[in-house]
Amino acid sequence: MLEWLIPAAHAAEGGAPGPGFDILILVAFAAIFYFMLWRPQSKRAKEHRELIEGLSKGDEVVTNGGLMGKITRVEEQLVVVEVASGIELKFQKPSISAALPKGTLKSGE
């Protein structure tokens, strides 16, 4: 009755693909997952970890919230960032998203 909508499937002479084909598809999906998702994410995490470990006094940084400032003090888990003349804020180290080139904040004023 609905053959015009869903044509009947006709088996090919060779039959259905073997179990090796299923394994090949799983390996292909795993490779796609690795190269498109897991590897780039772990690379970004490594770069951020290196950024956090390399923070020092005088670095100009941007926080996850978009605040820009100069680091005035680095503690074990915190950094103190001067966002304006005489205004210092404490941030947890992981909340620093990027380091700016030296002199960036002077040119923006």
pLDDT digits (tens, 9 = 90+) for 8-67: 555 445 556 677 888 999 999 999 999 999 999 999 999 999 999 999 999 999 999 999
3-state secondary structure of 38: helix
| Domain map (residue ranges) of the chain | 17-53, 56-107
Any idea which residue has 């620093």 for tokens? 96
CATH code of 56-107, in short, is 2.30.30
Name the token pair of 5. 């909508």
Instruction: Report yes or no on whether pTM surpasses 0.85.
Output: no
DSSP string, 54-92: T--TT-EEEETTS-EEEEEEE-SSEEEEEEETTEEEEEE
C-alpha distances out from residue 92 to 20, 27, 67, Å = 51, 40, 13
